Amino acid sequence: MAQIQILEDLNEIFESLKDFFASKNIKYTISAEENSMIIEFDEPLKITEEEYAQFINLVKGLNFFEANGYENQINNFIGYKDWIGNIEFETWDGEIKMNLVYSKAWIESRPVYYMEEIIIERKNSEA
């Protein structure tokens, strides 16, 4: 019974994000395990800085806050820089966390984000 509730909770979060993905016309696969859901994009989802901010605000509107994260610079050339990153979000009650794995490139004086996968998991397997 607890397993069903966990998947329903995670599915509610995914349903809230689904419209954003649909607006980008992106293909993805979802794999669900005991207490987690992984959304993997067939190709990295390319978004602008404004769309990235829109996505972050959408996640925060689902009762999440940025709990942790990093960006590591990989290349630093004249006219081109890129990073890999991970932002960890958590619900205010600490029950569910979401990781956004992405890369970012600085091209023509503007950042471009490439979302690679989103992992949503319940910290506590008891519902």
Residue 46 belongs to domain with CATH number: 3.30.160
Range of the domain at 66: 2-122
- Phi first, then psi: give them for residue 7, nearest 5 degrees: -65, -35
Span 10-42, pLDDT tens digits: 788 888 888 888 888 888 998 888 788 899 999
Tell me if 113 is assigned to some domain: yes
Q: 109 pLDDT band (50/70/90 cuts)?
A: confident
Tell me if 66 is assigned to some domain: yes
Q: Is the pTM of this model over 0.85?
A: no
pLDDT of residue 11: 80
Span 42-63, pLDDT tens digits: 999 999 999 999 999 999 999 9
Phi-psi region of 60 (alpha: psi -120 to 50; beta: other; left: phi over 0): alpha
Q: How many domains does the chain have?
A: 1
Instruction: Report whether 120 contacts 98 (CB < 8 A).
Output: yes
Q: Which residues pair with 90 in a beta bridge?
A: 65, 97
Tell me if 101 is assigned to some domain: yes
Distance CA 54, CA 62 (A): 13
Tell me if 82 is assigned to some domain: yes
Tell me if 127 is assigned to some domain: no
Sheet holding 64-77: strands in order across? Answer: 28-32, 36-48, 110-122, 96-107, 80-91, 64-77
